Chains A and B, each alone.
Chain A
Amino acid sequence: MNRLFKTLLGFLLVITFTTTSYSRDQIKIVGSSTVYPYATVVAEKFGKSGKFKTPVIESTGTGGGMKLFCAGVGANHPDITNASRAIKSKEKALCEKNGVSEIIEIVVGNDGISFAHSVNAPDADFTKEQLWRALAAKVDIDGKLVENPYKKWSDIDSSLPSKKIEILIAPPTSGTRDAWNSLVMGKGCTSTAKSIYEADGKKAKKECAKMREDGYAVEAGENDTLIVQKLASNPDAFGFFGYSYLVANKDKIKASSVNGVQPSLEGIQDYSYPIARPLFFYVKKAHIGVIPGIEEYLKEFTSKKSMGMRGYLAEIGLVPLASDKYKVTRTAALDLNIIKLN
């Protein structure tokens, strides 16, 4: 028994010792699940090529990542957070409050959200308003807001197929859903509906983004691969996710056009494809020089070899920045330019 106590005591001592002397020699990254596939590829190349350890990347979602990132400065807080949207003013305030006052913003590239279905289904084309009408909790009919009555696509517009509406949607925590809300639900929302919401003293943007909960829009979880599988087995269902999933699963799913435009590399880059968005990551300047390798990671990520037109990120579905925007990002990464917090 004595020995048992001794081992236990020794073990606890080891724990306290290792943790008090704990300092990190490995970059820690948190954030968006959309940026995750790109960041992990860069991290792996970075770890293989250089004298630094491979960064550890956690996929927490954009909002969760911001919360961790803005929690403070020091080895216990992440150095970088990935984001599938720009940092919000609320999050900036949180950062400021916790002493994270210097942040570098890097635009990684663009992502197009594809609205896709099985390759076995006939081609389809939707406008943003039609997509909004199919998904919104409340729509305007004859100048009045009513609970979404549409059961078939043809109920919305007679030119659409007479099939049941069935859409797999991403959960509210995902950046894809955020982007979908602002790019489709916000833009597709009719002016009639917006003015009714505003007349009631509600925020139109928030109300327009509310999705129906009567079974026609099904929440399918963060797992985009699972959505792809479900779409492949059910030709009537639609789903939306990042462009890289479309590229990787060309044999199973295809994109429907939005406003007559198919998602493509060029279309997403110049935003002529209507559901395109930039992707970001944010770096804590205070950690540069403390945690080894952050500067070099920034250089690797923003190099032409990775982010450029022929870079390895383009190969897995990231849409590279146009050259003028690329220059801005590259300069920010090399000169460590910080953004304003207020």
Chain B
Amino acid sequence: MTKEERLKKRHKAEKRFRFYGVVSILVALLFVLILVQNIFSKGSSAFKKTVINVEIFFDQELLEIKNGASENEIIEADFYDVAIESLIKAYPTKNLKEENQLLKLFSGDAEFEIKQAFLDNNNLIGKKINLNITASDDIDQLHKGNYPRDLPEDRRRISDFQLVIYDFLVENDKIGKNFNNYFFKNGDSRDPELAGIGGALVGSFYSILICLLLAFPVAVLASIYLEEFAPKNKITDFIEININNLAAVPSIVYGLLALQILLATIQLPRSTPLVAGITLALMTLPRIIIPCRASLKAVPPSIREGALAVGASKFQSVFHHVVPLALPGTLSGTIIGLAQALGETAPLILIGMVAFVVDIPSSPVDPSSSLPVQVYLWSESAERGFVEKTSATIMMLLSFLIVMNFLAVYLRQKFEKRWN
């Protein structure tokens, strides 16, 4: 082979390598695109809910309260009759069976929505107002175009008569889409139109807060001690190896540990953000210690020596000079560790977070679910409406993760000093 041929061959090899690189990046991007497109196309409709505009008549005869009733009286009062009598007027029906089918177009919470309207204005007795009542899950899915209507009737959940009403409502412009406040406000529910991530958001917030409060100080102190003060000997080497190993332990193992120690031995309450937070803190500790030590290591020795030279003690040199300089890296490491903890499901399954929780937790010792767990739970539900809810929850989770990661990058770039 001549010199030229060899040179050509080497150039070709380089070109090939570059080509492979571009291809693999494109493939990766394509997958991300497909994933995001899939989630968004399924999930974006969950942020809207279908409502049906109905005229509500607050008939004195059907209500046991009067105009100007106090809040407590209204809450105690039963609005069931008012709801039923008004809703069945939405379409002319002939018999009880048709009435029942008509009522099924509305959410089970219609009664409470009417009560809420009265709470907002307690002078409505004897008056008629138009209200947007949340539609049932089936109508919601039909209106969003997620449910096929060209199937034979016995294979549909919506009857022919209900379709007739639906078309009537569409023609008369009585049906529309509103912002789905329930999705953010409510806890879990078995009715997809009422189910929300409110409880899961609060649960995730408490878990991550506890995780941060426990893991951050311990991790920072541990890394400062190991990096700056600890003597380099076999014991510290051994500890270092173990920290690196712990960071690679599968998260489910921490779940098992929590099950044995926190739940069985210490008897902390099951399914609570408290236990979740402690478990996630254990899992996150080594994952924070490693970047913390790296950022401490990155501070050049001249800083320490300079401080010592002007008479600072070791403690002063570390806490007045080294730690502040290492802080941006420490913080971004912590945020990335927390972002991982936020998306974690496996250990939470073992400590009982995979549960149906309707009430929104008011403290870290109330039972609760969390965002990734909510995704898991809804993906298992039979009802059609949960498909979009699942994707929408994933969207929320992803956006939190993206925000946290951006924050980490921002902190590092904004405050980090470069030494060169």
Contact = CB atoms under 8 A, between A and B. Distances in A.
Given A37-B190, A225-B382, A58 B354 contact: yes
Given A8-B217, A43-B356, A44-B358, A76 B380 contact: no
Interface stretch (B23-31, B52-60, B268-276, B412-420): B268-276
Contacts of A4: 217
B355 interface: yes
B222 interface: no
B122 interface: no
B148 A251 contact: yes
Given A251-B148, A251-B151, A76 B270 contact: yes
Contact of B274 (A15, A41, A244): A15
Contacts of A24: 269
B292 to A, nearest CB: 15
Contact of B382 (A8, A76, A248, A251): A248
Contacts of A226: 379
Interface stretch (B153-161, B235-243, B306-314): B153-161
Interface stretch (A49-57, A154-162, A189-197, A284-292): A49-57
B359 to A, nearest CB: 5
Given A4-B217, A58-B271, A250-B156, A44 B354 contact: no
Interface in B261-299: 263, 266-271, 274
B252 interface: no
Contacts of B359: 26, 47, 53-54
B384 A248 contact: yes
A19 B157 contact: no
A318 B256 CA distance: 35
B355 A41 contact: no
Interface of B is mostly: loop
A128 B167 CA distance: 46
Contacts of A43: 356, 358
B378 to A, nearest CB: 9
B365 A40 contact: no
Interface in B206-222: 213-214, 217
B381 interface: yes
A250 B154 contact: yes
Given A24-B269, A119-B155, A8 B380 contact: no
A19 B356 contact: no
Interface size class of A (residues with CB under 8 A): 35 or more
Contact of A56 (B157, B274, B357, B383): B357
B386 to A, nearest CB: 8
A244 B382 contact: yes
Given A56-B271, A76-B270, A44 B190 contact: yes
Contacts of B356: 36, 40, 43, 56-59
B217 A56 contact: no
Contacts of A150: none
Given A28-B270, A44-B358, A56 B380 contact: no
B364 to A, nearest CB: 8
A59 B354 contact: yes
Chain B contact-residue range equals: 35 or more
A65 B191 CA distance: 25
Nearest to A248: B382
B270 A251 contact: no
A76 B148 contact: no
Nearest to B264: A71
A8 B155 CA distance: 60
A76 B259 CA distance: 13
Given A18-B365, A251-B148, A224 B190 contact: no
Given A250-B156, A251-B148, A58 B382 contact: no
Contacts of B157: 248, 250-251
Contacts of A250: 154-157
A73 B214 CA distance: 31
A126 interface: no
Contacts of A199: none
A211 B36 CA distance: 38
A81 B381 CA distance: 20
A249 interface: yes
Nearest to B355: A58
B319 interface: yes
Contact of A249 (B148, B354, B382): B382
13 contacts: A11-B213, A19-B266, A19-B267, A19-B268, A19-B274, A26-B366, A30-B352, A43-B356, A44-B189, A58-B352, A59-B380, A223-B380, A244-B382
Interface of A: 1, 4, 7-8, 11, 15, 18-19, 22, 24, 26, 28, 30, 33, 36-37, 40-41, 43-44, 47, 53-54, 56-59, 75-76, 119, 222-226, 228, 244-245, 248-251, 254, 316-317
Given A7-B213, A47-B358, 11 more contacts: A1-B319, A8-B217, A11-B214, A18-B364, A22-B365, A28-B270, A54-B358, A119-B155, A224-B382, A245-B382, A254-B155
List of 9 A-B pairs having minimum Cβ-Cβ separation, nearest first: A54-B358, A248-B382, A57-B356, A58-B355, A56-B367, A40-B356, A250-B155, A41-B190, A18-B365
